[in-house]
Amino acid sequence: MLWGFEAKPWQAMSKASFLLQIGEGLAVTAVRTLPHSGAAKAMFVYAPGAGSNIKDPFGDYLSHRLAESGIATIRFQFPYMEAGKRRPDSPRLLEETWRQVIETVGAEETPLVIGGRSMGGRIASQVVAQGTQVDGLALFAYPLSPPGRPDKPRDEHLPSISVPTLFCSGTRDAFGTPDQLAEASSLVPVSTVHLLDGADHGFAVLKSSGRTREDVWSDATSCLLDWLASLG
């Protein structure tokens, strides 16, 4: 059982920033948020989308909600954001960053689930498809294809993902319709899809919906917690 592992107790403060070494002379900022009390049941590692960084508001919200449920979180940013640049790093460096982060935090004796929003989750899915060992994969607003280019799907690697995978996206996401997401998720042997009603790629909703962006964050986080519980 994934959640049957007896995790060792966390120590020190509940939230702390630190540097993760990802290569010689190269490090990225990370934030570790620990459960409010007791031992961590699992570790979730999160990377933001291409235009965001360590201050990603959804990642911050997510980490606090997970801590309330006994799950530790590590959030990090990619090297280009560390350097104050806007253009993402090469796919090779993005993937290597994820691998180094997983190698570092994977030493903790807790089940390890990884993922992120948009590009952060896409790169996570690629390294898992390439054989990096984790216990689960959670993809928020997976960027299935560039807006208006359904003929350019980013799904070639999905059949190679062998761990349980959650797809959580808005029904107004321009990077993939609900039907397209359902078709893509079916390529993953063990997958779950959760749709965020009225949300776009950035999890924003129309004023007429009566919902707020934080309502969407809450929906997405509750979905993640339910899915994590189901893995046991």
Quote the pLDDT of residue 152: 87
| Residue 231 token pair | 């893995």
Quote the pLDDT of residue 107: 63
Quote the pLDDT of residue 174: 96
Which pTM does this prediction carry?
A: 0.91
Q: Which residue has the tokens 């994820």?
A: 98
- One digit per residue, the tens of pLDDT, for the chain of length 232 reads 343 333 333 333 377 899 999 887 899 999 999 997 778 899 999 999 999 999 999 999 999 999 999 999 999 999 999 999 999 999 999 999 999 999 988 766 689 999 999 999 999 999 999 999 999 999 999 999 888 888 888 999 999 999 999 999 999 999 999 999 999 999 999 999 999 999 999 999 999 998 999 999 999 999 999 999 998 7
Q: Please classify residue 69 by burial: count the beta carbons closer than 10 Å to its beta carbon, then call 0-12 exposed, 13-18 middle and 19+ buried.
A: middle
Domain ranges of the chain: 2-230
Which secondary structure element, helix H or strand E, spans residue 79, and what is its range? helix 79-82
* Pairing between β-strand 191-196 and β-strand 136-140 as defined by DSSP bridges: unpaired
Quote the pLDDT of residue 37: 78
Alpha-carbon gap, residue 195 to 216, rounded angstroms: 10
Could you give the 3-state DSSP secondary structure of residue 60?
A: helix
Alpha-carbon gap, residue 112 to 2, rounded angstroms: 9
- 123 touches 142 (CB < 8 A): no
Alpha-carbon gap, residue 58 to 75, rounded angstroms: 11
Q: Which CATH number fits domain 2-230: 3.30.450.20, 3.20.180.10, 3.40.50.1820, 3.55.50.30?
A: 3.40.50.1820
Quote the pLDDT of residue 9: 35
